[in-house]
Structures are given as C-alpha cells and as structure tokens.
Amino acid sequence: MNLLVTGGCGFIGSNFVRAMLEKYPAYTVINLDYLTYAGNLRNLEGLERHPKYHFVKGSICDRGAVSALVSKFAVDAIVNFAAETHVDRSISGSSVFVETNVGGTNTLLEVAKDHGIKRFVQVSTDEVYGSLGASGAFTESTPLHPNSPYAASKAAADLLVLAYHHTFGLPALITRCSNNYGPYQFPEKLIPLMIINALNDKPLPVYGDGLNVRDWLHVSDHCTAIDAVLHSGNVGEVYNVGGENEWKNIDIVRLLLSHVRKPETLITFVKDRPGHDRRYAIDAAKIGSKLGWKPSVKFEGGMRSTIEWYQQHESWWREIITGEYQDYYRKMYADR
C-alpha cells in the first residue's frame, strides 16, 4: 500500500508513521506536513534514509501540490492528521483553524475523489460531541455539539467527510478519540506542559477549579485504533476511541508531581479557559466489538514512561521552549 499520512511531523502523526513503517515493511509511507509551529522534523529523526519513507513539505490546503503528490506516489490511502489542534489557540484566533481543519480537509477530499483513493481516514476528536455532565459517555450517535472554535472546525470537517461518502461514495471513515498522551507531544498541551514546568521548578497553571475531566489514552493505542479502522473499518462509519480512563486535571497534575518528586506548592490555579468543556468520556464499545481493538497501555505505566521520555529528551523540548514558544507562553498565561 502507498499510504499518504498528513501532519506526520506532529505528535500523533509521527508516532503513527513509525508504527506503520515497523508493522508493514512492504508499505510506502508519504508524510505531507506543512511544518507549522507544531510540526517538527526531529519527531521522525532517524527515518530520513528509510527506503519506504518520503517526507514532503507542503500544505493540505494546496490542491495542486496534494494532487501532484498523490499522482507521483500512486497513493492508495490517506490518513489525515494535519490540523491546528490547540483549543486555547483557537480561542485566540480561529481563522487558521477554519482554513486548515475545514478547508484543508475539503481539499484532501476533492483530491481523494478525483484520484479514486481506496481508503480515507479522518482523524477526528471526541470534542465534536461537546461536554458531558457528571455521568454518561459519548457514543457514535451522540449529537454533535462542538463548543470551541477548534471543536467546531473538526466537526465541520467530519460532516464534509460524511457528505463525500454519501454523495460521491468516497470510501471514507472517521475516528473520534479522547485525549492522547505520550512521547513527542508539543508542550502547549496539559501533560507535557506540566512535566516540563515541574522539571524547571516553574508554576503549574491549572485552569479554573482543576476539576474538569478528560479521558486519557496512550498515543500508541490511538495509533493501533487508526490502523484497525484503516484496514478493517466499514466505510461511511465513525469509530470512537478512548481509554475508559477518566481523570480530573488536578489529579493528573498531582500524579506527575509525585513522579518527579516536586512539591504541590508549584500548583497555581489560574483563570479558566473560556467555554471550558467540563467532562469528556468515550464509549469505545463499537471499535472493541466490531474491530477487536482495545487499549494495551496501562495509565500508571504509560505516564511513568512518558515522564521518563521527557526527562531523557531534554534537548528536544529545550529547543521548542526557547524562541517563539516564550511569546506564546507569555501571551497565554501572563494575564491569567
């Protein structure tokens, strides 16, 4: 198979590219990434000379470039990770989220249709369902109710994907996953940001009362779920992916402080995220029963290995947190 992965230099995409090359030595993997602030060639260091791997710098919004690439590599399948992904950034400015997440997905769908692509997997998110109360979990039939500009842009993309399947018979599928953690996650997201601040003895900025709940899944388990959907999912369908592993933010922060042996006095409660979704929880029964997928990484061990990864890859995150990141951090946290 000639597999086009978009956004392969980001957190989940880079883990997925490695997993595919390892598991399917006969596949050719083409990684199209625009190298935004979140894209990092170092995430795929060591693969530069891999005979089955090709990196192409470009945008999913550039129809001519995507079309040429699909022809050149005789692409059979597309897995679309490329996106703007940080909720707080979407609150500061939503335009690029619409351009990339909606416009870019639309461009990929047009090219996929024109070239008769055999499988198209859209990597979506549980955030399209909105927020839950104290009980219950999102199923694939939960109505869409996105609350942030990020979530709204992902929901719009999902609707386009389903429309392309319905109208043109495009063999498209959607995954909607809960919060991921693991190696190579950009340190604007909760877990890497807190690990790095703790290692640097900096305050850990917990939004609001810290009681918002997220359902955490190790990135390697998300990758096996996407693999299952790519190879065995039913076209036109949505598959929820999650770890049945709900944690309050404050408890996650306490857990990681205890791992790195730093004091809880570093915890600082700051102004809440506007429109902050209270709780996410995924019902992943469908992908379990239909495709036999289940998570394999236990949270305690996964967190320990993730923290160790950040401790052992200091040059990776130091490079990121100098430069542009400092402006971002000041803007995001100065007035909180």
Instruction: Give contact residues for ligand NAD (rule: CB under 6 A).
Output: 6-7, 9-13, 32-36, 38-39, 59-61, 81-83, 85, 100, 104, 123, 125, 154, 177, 179-180, 186
Structure token digits, residue 120:
């198209």
Residues 190-229 as x/- pattern, contact with ligand DAU by CB under 6 A: x--x-----------xxx----x-x---------------
Question: Closer to ligand DAU at the Cβ: 149 or 171?
Answer: 149
86, 165, 218, 279: which one binds ligand DAU (CB under 6 A): 86
Q: Can residue 246 be called a binding residue for ligand DAU (CB under 6 A)?
A: no
Strand ranges (E), the chain: 2-6, 28-33, 53-57, 77-80, 119-125, 172-177, 179-181, 204-207, 213-218, 238-241, 246-248, 267-270
Query: In the window 7-26, what residues touch ligand DAU (CB under 6 A)?
Result: none
76 is catalytic: no
150 is catalytic: yes
Candidate list 126, 158, 188, 277, residue with the active-site label? 126
> Minimum distance from CB of 273 to ligand DAU (Å)?
6
Distance of alpha carbon 6 from alpha carbon 72, whole angstroms: 16
Structure token digits, residue 166:
């319905």
CA-derived radius of gyration, the chain: 19
Q: CA torsion 324→327→332→336, rounded to 10°?
A: 150
256-265 CB contacts, 8 Å cutoff, 24+ apart = 256/191, 256/194, 256/195, 256/198, 256/303, 256/307, 257/198, 257/204, 259/303, 259/304, 259/307, 260/195, 260/198, 260/199, 260/307, 260/311, 262/198, 262/199, 262/201
Q: Can residue 172 be called a binding residue for ligand DAU (CB under 6 A)?
A: no
Size of the site for ligand DAU (CB under 6 A): 19
* Contact partner, 280, from ligand NAD, ligand DAU, none, Cβ < 5-8 Å per class: ligand DAU
126 is catalytic: yes
249, 281, 293, 317: which one binds ligand DAU (CB under 6 A): 249
179, 224, 240, 245: which one binds ligand DAU (CB under 6 A): 179
Closest CA to 55 of 37, 39, 77, 71: 39
Known catalytic residues are 126-127, 150
Binding site for ligand DAU (CB under 6 A): 85-87, 125-127, 178-179, 189-190, 193, 205-207, 212, 214, 249, 273, 280
